[in-house]
Amino acid sequence: MEWTMVGAYIGMSMVVIAFALETRGRVSSRSTLYLASMAVGQILLGARAYDTGEWPFVFLSIIWAGVALLAIAKPRTDE
């Protein structure tokens, strides 16, 4: 199995587990754990998409990871 496929499975697991925990109220969608899981998971998925030439998904992964990393770097202050 290629390393990008292993990374994609790990990334997919991170995204799905974080989302499941958030929908069950176990973690906030604004928590660093959730956002970091989304960012790293999307980077791993994006690496696989890049390796296979799935460009729309590469761009989606970059945007998704970027938004999550931005939320970690500059948290909202309106709460």
- Whole-number percent of the chain with pLDDT over 90: 90
The whole-number pLDDT of residue 73 equals 95
pTM over 0.85: yes
Structure tokens that stand for 16 in this block? 């799905």
Q: Which of 41, 47, 42, 18 is nearest to 30 (CA)?
A: 18
Q: Residue 53 region, left (φ>0) first, then alpha (ψ -120 to 50), else beta?
A: left
The Cβ of residue 78 has, within 10 Å, a number of other Cβ atoms equal to 3
Distance CA 72, CA 1 (A): 33
**Ramachandran class of 25: left when φ > 0, alpha when ψ lies in -120 to 50, beta otherwise:** left
Would you state the pLDDT for residue 79?
59
* Tens-digit pLDDT profile for residues 15-60: 999 999 999 999 999 999 999 999 999 999 999 999 999 999 999 9
Domain boundaries, the chain: 15-73
Task: Provide the pLDDT confidence category of residue 1 given band limits of 50, 70 and 90.
Answer: confident
